[in-house]
């Protein structure tokens, strides 16, 4: 798989804000009021539209403590529900 990496620059304001370049907004499918997530992974920072995960990431999050084994659709739905409740729980 060949991946094209885009390189664009933004400036940080004194208040710690940045503008997301139009090309990136379009690629992420975001606009005013959209939420984005910042994640550190292997010494790099990933930015993505909030709630956008690959199926591999979902499986790793839901079944992290189990050996990989076929799961039923019901198991997957219950695992996703439990993960989302835990992730978005308010204290």
pLDDT tens string 63-84: 777 666 778 899 989 999 999 8
pTM score > 0.85 for this model?
Answer: no
Tell me, what's the pLDDT at 15?
94
Tell me, what's the pLDDT at 13?
93
Tell me, what's the pLDDT at 14?
94
User: How far is 88 from 8, CA to CA, in rounded Å?
Assistant: 31
Confidence band (pLDDT; 50, 70, 90) for 5?
A: low
Hey, is 64 helix, strand or coil? coil
pLDDT at 10 over 70: yes
Q: What are phi and psi of 84, to 5 degrees?
A: -65, -40
């Amino acid at each position: 798989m060949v991946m094209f990496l885009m390189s664009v620059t933004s400036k940080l304001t004194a208040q710690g804000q940045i503008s997301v370049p139009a090309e990136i907004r379009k690629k992420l499918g975001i606009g005013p009021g959209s939420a984005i997530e910042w994640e550190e992974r292997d010494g790099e920072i990933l930015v993505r539209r909030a709630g956008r995960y690959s199926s591999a990431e979902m499986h790793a999050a839901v079944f992290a403590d189990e050996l990989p084994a076929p799961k039923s659709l019901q198991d997957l739905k219950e695992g996703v529900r439990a993960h989302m409740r835990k992730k978005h729980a308010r204290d």
